[in-house]
Amino acid sequence: MTSEEELRLKLRKIEALFEGAGTIGEKHAARAARERIKARLSEIAEKEPSLEYTFTLGDQWSRQLFVALCRRYDLNPYRYARQRYTTVMVKVPEAFVDDVLWPHYQALNKELVAYLEQATAKIISEEIHRDTTEAQEIVQLLEAG
């Protein structure tokens, strides 16, 4: 199994955990689970107001993942004019962010980042230079003056 296949499998397992699906491989079960999460969002939205959240996501892959996850749950991610590309805004009830959206994103992003780090290190070490460690840190004392 390739590392990409392993990543896909891990992401599917995380999806299954958050969707509560008993059968990971069945598309019907996954679709029904996604609908349950959307229904839960609707229930929460009836009980508590949506708040405008600002998320700052450090890289394009994390941002792309977060935006896709928002859209999966029919949320509308946006950014105001002149906001940085790392910023994503979304109006959503606090309970949904705390219980579903943010933990789900963090679990998926952890696996995605690990995969990207591994792939990057492998390609650089095989094609550019085998030493992919960080640059040496030199401690230099400042002169009084």
**pLDDT at residue 46, as a whole number:** 80
**Any domain includes 144:** no
* Domain with 24 in it: 3-127
Work out how many domains the chain is built from and give that number.
1
- For residue 66, is it within any domain? yes
pLDDT digits (tens, 9 = 90+) for 67-93: 999 999 899 999 999 999 999 999 999
**How many Å apart are CA 96 and CA 27, to the nearest integer?**
24
The pLDDT tens digits for 3-36 are: 767 767 777 777 776 665 555 455 666 666 677 7
Amino acid, res. 6: E
Instruction: Give a yes or no: residue 136 inside a domain.
Output: no
Instruction: Identify whether 145 is part of a domain.
Output: no
CA 64/CA 61 separation, integer angstroms: 5
Domain of 113: which CATH number? 3.30.1360
Q: Is residue 41 part of a domain?
A: yes
The strand pairing partners of 93, in sequence order, are 50
**pTM of the prediction?**
0.73
Contact 69, 121 (CB under 8 A): no
Tracing tokens 């792939």 back to the chain, one arrives at 119
Closest of 117, 119, 115, 122 to residue 9, by C-alpha: 115
29-69 per-position pLDDT tens digit: 666 667 777 777 778 778 888 899 999 999 999 999 999 99
Nearest to 109 by CA among 72, 68, 51: 68
